[in-house]
Chain A
């Protein structure tokens, strides 16, 4: 493995420090002393009607003059207020759409658990929303987008229902190749550099072959955090981005069901208490129908089939909360209906996570464990099959210790990964291989409130692949500053060093190919990236919020395909360095009835590699080029309007063309060496002749999606929601990909009118 610094000793020190944190408590007073003269208040904030945790609820302790302590519940609904001076205070919990909980409580020294179940309030949407928006910049963080179900539901989707995939593709930081294949590029990174977690368990490729859908329909999500970069050392192992999805628990108190029918998918959902108020089960199953509906609806073949199945058991105790999640996704189809290459992929994952805290300690402990299997394959027109799979098993222990100045967090994880791939037929490079890796890691971080305006969150992580015999060291820092003279403005920054021990091969030249082969990094060199992000959020008026963010990333030792004229899957890799920079600007205008969003993203991605190692035939060395995900401009406009009883939404998106390799000819290469290629008996190798790779750009892309929705109350227990709309409303012929050999273009989906129904059963 490539080592730059004497990392081993630092890594050992980090393991020791994290161990110290984990053991902290009465037994190890040196590491963390519990304050004995103050109160620590913690608990869960839940919805009284169904017991669901409420993330980001405001919890405030105040006396008659001022706020003494305030905090926000996390994604599990858990909050903790440390260092509260003993005394009698007003204790309040607020959450949008719920009645505010208020009580006068006397807090004694020590730790106290105080969980609150909020009661839904009659909605006064305009007023509440305005109040909420005024303070919204407080949760701004560099590179982070907090995604709630409501955010996803404002986008028109060929539902019924909405999906996280559609929302992610609308973000200015995300580049997608097209509406098929399920590959997302984030700020210069590639899909294999994205970490996707479902309730703490990594999953490789949860996006469906039709890009509107993923394994995450909006109505099974509690919340998701999407880091487009700059994430802390808690997330190790990927270079580019993190999507941390928390699924919602099933209803702890009532049985509910939902049936959705539409031209693309149908779904069934059921939930209810297993043990009233303490355990619940949520099951969601969704299956595509576009394969059957497409020919009638679109007048063309739509060979796409997918399904996803999710079951989640949730337990809620006084001092603990656990979730056990199983998920299965399957996709099969042909990206280009006119050609016989058939792709399929599947994910199967099972995992669990628990949060708990003891009576006498202020620490909270998170445990997660699970296993996930990914497999994908492609069958080519020549009936050759390429397949690749991976099997990950992980266990993570994380602990948080609050202090008066902030908190310290740390953790360990262990992971085993098995890769295998097998390429039949024509290919370049390796053909078949299996490998097995075991790695361990640790991180230590702090959140330090420096006065009332600055928060610094330094963290450091290490990864230790057992068979490599050495480790990485990854320091990171996140900063937030709310200037005292500009209460509606928040300036945030993030950066650090990122390493990745595994990567994936994909055919860069074939943008339409979703096939991906996971493997160890070439030459046992860990991929490396540095991130630097600076952002400003400003609440211009109570209704208008502006955000501006710039980033710069560097990359080192990225595996890229060598240049080749032969039209075969290319697994001959070399290492490239590179950089990416850009920024995004977004504006949001929001009232109770109207929500308008506009965003613009700019990006520049450039790789460079020595000419000879790249096997390139240009004069310069190193060779600099823009890879195929170098999308420069992206514009998104979204509007949703509540015109009771209807709600209307529309989204227009534009993106500039991505690089592709434009050639000057094709032929079939006959190998005269050894007289192996004989004109009368050999076809030769398909050859695409070009001067340099990625020397031209595809046409730009834009599309308008619209939808309208109305709910009908059929009975007190039955609600029917009808939804109609159109994808690609003005039928723009957006290029999906261009087959360079046959020169056939494959367009993205044409105008698709859709209608769908959702039946909710309470």
Chain B
């Protein structure tokens, strides 16, 4: 092996190089180090290499997401076991009982499991029931497994659906002028707006299409309700079926939902990113787990379509 030399420095007591076969002798001063390192090697060679990504919580078992809506005939709640891997979908079997209880009357229903592929081939356990949901009524939904672990959420449904006023028509064809392609919506009798969506119906090249657009962020709270200005051109442009910005639309309707009295005060979260509201310490009404099951009340209103002169 070749080693470069540094600047020469005369040294006293020049030592002769070791003879062949004597190369181990100078290791003696390092014996302790050699032994220590050898010991380290032997000690670590048999170390356990296992590692756990998840150490299940003793007091958080399931996540639950859904809404109880008096306006719907079927209620759906997603249930996932926190301790099982769920990134590629839920485990095929989920040995739990999910019950819905009317806290006012004491009446209970057991929800039925449905294994749905909601994204590609990933399966999810969506539990459902056709139990009639009453307005202004407290409900508790509980997930319990055979070991006795339970997760539950309590919510109260709103007393009334929102009163939806579509204050201006949707005019077609769309214009190039900014601000010319909007209609206004007012929601009354709403303390907390849970959702605002616009549904457009199109006939394009002989086929019928339906598009839903989330307008929750377009609404602002005013005294006695909410106002929203809907830019339908920006919605319809994204459908890729609107030609030359002419806005093809057969009909449209507004879908709005009120939140119940325990609906989170989303005002403090409205500017929050999804990452922020997905924090484990974000709002939840789920005990023994994570998620949100809330009471909402939806209603719809048609949007008048007018042709421009």
Task: Compute how far the CA of A459 lies from the CA of B194 in the bound complex, rounded to whole angstroms.
Answer: 63
Q: Which of B2, B44, B275, B277 contacts A97 (CB 8 A)?
A: B2
Confirm or deny: A456 has a beta carbon within 8 angstroms of a beta carbon on chain B.
no
**A562 on the B face (CB < 8 A):** yes
Bound complex: CA of A215 vs CA of B78, how far in Å? 51
Establish whether residues B278 and A687, one from each chain, have CB atoms under 8 Å apart when the complex forms. yes
Q: Which residues of B contact A544 (CB under 8 A)?
A: 26, 29-30
A640 nearest in chain B by CB position: B1
Interface code B25-39, partner A: CB below 8 Å = 1, 0 otherwise? 011011001100100
Residues from chain B with a CB closer than 8 A to the CB of A126 are 17-18
Are B8 and A58 in touch, CB under 8 angstroms? yes
Asked if residues A674 and B216 are in contact (CB atoms below 8 Å), the reply is yes
A594 to B19, CA, bound (A): 12
- B133 part of interface (Cβ distance < 8 Å): no
**Residue from B33, B54, B278 within 8 A of A598 (CB atoms):** B33
A664 close to chain B: CB less than 8 A: yes
Q: Which residues of A contact B269 (CB under 8 A)?
A: 673
Residues of A contacting B17 with CB < 8 Å? 126-127, 129-130, 542, 591-592
Question: Which of B30, B48, B116, B270 counts the most A-chain CB atoms under 10 A from its CB?
Answer: B30
Total count of chain A residues near the partner, CB < 8 A = 109
Chain A 693-707 interface 0/1 with B at a Cβ cutoff of 8 Å (1 = within): 000001110100000
Find chain B residues with CB under 8 A from A58 CB.
5-8
The stretch of A203-211, A295-303, A493-501, A728-736 in contact with B is A728-736
Which of A1-9, A346-354, A414-422, A565-573 is the interface stretch?
Answer: A565-573
Within 8 A of A (CB), among B60-79: 60, 63, 65-67, 76-78
B177 within 8 A of A: no
Given contacts A135-B6, A666-B82, contact A689 B118 (CB under 8 A): no
- Residue B142 interfacial (CB < 8 Å): no
Contact with B along A346-369 (1 / 0, CB 8 A): 000000000000000000000000
Q: Does B292 contact A (CB under 8 A)?
A: yes
Residue from B17, B50, B216 having most chain A Cβ neighbours under 10 A: B17
Assembly CA distance A652 to B290 (angstroms): 46
Given contacts A565-B278, A702-B45, is CB(A679)–CB(B3) below 8 Å?
no
B6 x A564 contact (CB < 8 A): no
Query: Complex: how many Å from CA A97 to CA B5?
Result: 10
CA distance A682 to B116 in the complex (A): 11
- Among B84-92, B93-101, B240-248, which stretch is in contact with chain A? B84-92
A752 interface hit (Cβ, 8 Å): no
Interface size of B as a range:
35 or more
Least distance between A289 CB and chain B CB atoms (Å):
29
B119-127, B161-169, B198-206, B226-234: which one contacts chain A?
B119-127
Q: Does B211 contact A (CB under 8 A)?
A: no
Interface residues of A in 699-740 (CB under 8 A from B): 699-700, 702, 730, 732-735, 738-740
Interface stretch, picked from A263-271, A390-398, A524-532, A741-749, is A741-749
Interface centre among B4, B11, B124, B269 (most CB of A within 10 A): B4
Shortest CB-to-CB span from A703 to chain B, Å, is 10
Q: How far is the CA of A738 from the CA of B53 in the complex (A)?
A: 7
Decide yes or no: A665 and B67 within 8 Å by CB, A72-B7, A673-B266 being known contacts. Answer: no
The reply to whether the CB of B250 lies closer than 8 angstroms to some CB of chain A is no
Q: In the complex, A305→B116 CA distance in Å?
A: 39
* Bound: A659/B158 CA distance, A: 47
Q: How far is the CA of A153 from the CA of B1 in the complex (A)?
A: 9
Contact A70 B2 (CB under 8 A): no
Residue pair B45, A666 in contact (C-beta under 8 Å)? no
Instruction: State A33–B49 Cα separation when bound (angstroms).
Output: 66
| B193 and chain A: residue at smallest CB distance | A674
- Contact pattern, A 67-102, Cβ under 8 Å of B = 1, otherwise 0: 100111000000000000000000000111100000
CA distance in complex: A685, B269 (Å): 18
Take A572-B275, A594-B23 as given contacts and tell me if A133 and B3 are in contact as well, using a CB distance cutoff of 8 Å.
yes
CB neighbours (8 Å) of B2 from chain A are 96-97, 148, 150
**Which 7 A-B residue pairs are closest in the complex by CB-CB distance?**
A665-B82, A674-B216, A683-B119, A741-B87, A670-B65, A56-B4, A667-B63
Residues on A lying within 8 angstroms of B by beta carbon are 55-58, 60, 67, 70-72, 94-97, 125-127, 129-139, 148, 150, 153-154, 428, 487-488, 540-544, 562-567, 570, 572, 587, 589, 591-596, 598, 615, 617, 635, 637, 640, 642, 652, 654, 662-687, 689-691, 698-700, 702, 730, 732-735, 738-743, 745
5 CB contacts below 8 A, A to B, read: A95-B4, A541-B29, A587-B33, A665-B56, A742-B87
Knowing that A674-B217, A689-B290 are A-B contacts, what are 18 other residue pairs whose CB atoms are under 8 Å apart, sorted by A's residue number?
A56-B4, A60-B8, A126-B17, A129-B17, A135-B6, A541-B15, A544-B29, A544-B30, A591-B23, A592-B17, A664-B82, A674-B216, A679-B126, A684-B78, A685-B278, A689-B60, A691-B280, A740-B53
